[in-house]
Amino acid sequence: MKRLLSPFLAGLMLGIVFPVLVVAAEPEDTFTIPAGTSINARLTTALSTRTNQEGDPFSARIVDPIMDGGIEVVPAGSILEGRVTFVKEPGHVKGPAQMRLLAQTITTPEANATYSIMAGLQEAEGAEGAKVKGEEGTIQGPGKSKKGTAVETGVGAGVGAGVGAIAAGGKGSLYGLAIGGIAGLIHNMSKRGKDVILPQGTDLTFMIERATTARRIPKPAESPAPPSP
């Protein structure tokens, strides 16, 4: 009796264990985008410190695929979306315009899957005079031109000296020089600095701040071609 039951018990145990082994051998249907991964995208929404406020959305199109272990997990053409998190308009006396962007989601075109991310800006190419500075990825505007300030002050001083010389001779030219220089400086101080302007087509590089793990969503199966008549 024991000899008859042994094969039966062995088969029963194999039937119980085998599915577990098969499931354990299957790879997990997830992928991870590590922290520090760069995302290259092209802006599809124009942004400016003159017109935008904190909380405004923006979108960009990813130009380079994102890989995980040699496998493409985010194809080129996917949509990157996020928010403007900080806006500072340019000042009259000092302080250039500033703006910060945070990328929050990626939507793939074919599978129509949306993944949540957190990525700060690292570079912006195509924005005239603007540069990305600091760990927070602040886009800083060009500010006022030092050369322009010097020219306007010099012109004002020259005009003032000429008027002073005509009015009171050589001594008057000294007074005119000082007054003209101050007038030129005040005029420059009253001028507003330049805004940060990111036109459509600006190339942006974001960096993933913390690892993102998501479930891999397969592409939808293609519909079979209709039979030829």
Residues 48-76 have pLDDT tens digits of: 999 999 999 999 999 999 998 888 999 99
Mean pLDDT within 135-143:
88
Model confidence pLDDT, tens digit, residues 2-38: 454 455 445 445 444 444 433 333 346 888 999 999 9
Q: E strand or H helix at 188, and its extent?
A: helix 146-190
Q: What pLDDT sits at residue 102?
A: 97
Model confidence pLDDT, tens digit, residues 191-229: 568 999 999 999 999 999 999 988 877 766 555 556 666
Q: What pLDDT sits at residue 21?
A: 36
pTM: 0.66
Mean pLDDT within 126-131:
85
Q: What pLDDT sits at residue 150?
A: 45
Q: Is 29 helix (H, G, I), strand (E, B) or coil?
A: coil
Average pLDDT, the chain: 76
Q: What pLDDT sits at residue 135?
A: 83
d(CA 215, CA 141): 39
Residue 43 has pLDDT above 60, yes or no: yes
Model confidence pLDDT, tens digit, residues 82-121: 999 999 999 755 689 999 999 999 999 887 899 999 999 9
d(CA 100, CA 126): 16
Q: What's the full length of the chain, in residues?
A: 229
The better pLDDT of the pair 167, 184 is held by 167
Mean pLDDT within 126-143:
87
Q: Where along the chain do its domains lie? A: 29-143+194-215, 145-190
The better pLDDT of the pair 159, 140 is held by 140
Q: E strand or H helix at 22, and its extent?
A: helix 2-25
- Residues with Cβ < 8 Å from 70, sequence gap 6 or more? none
Q: What pLDDT sits at residue 118?
A: 96
Instruction: Tell me the CATH number for domain 29-143+194-215.
Output: 2.40.128.260
Tokens of 30: 């997830």
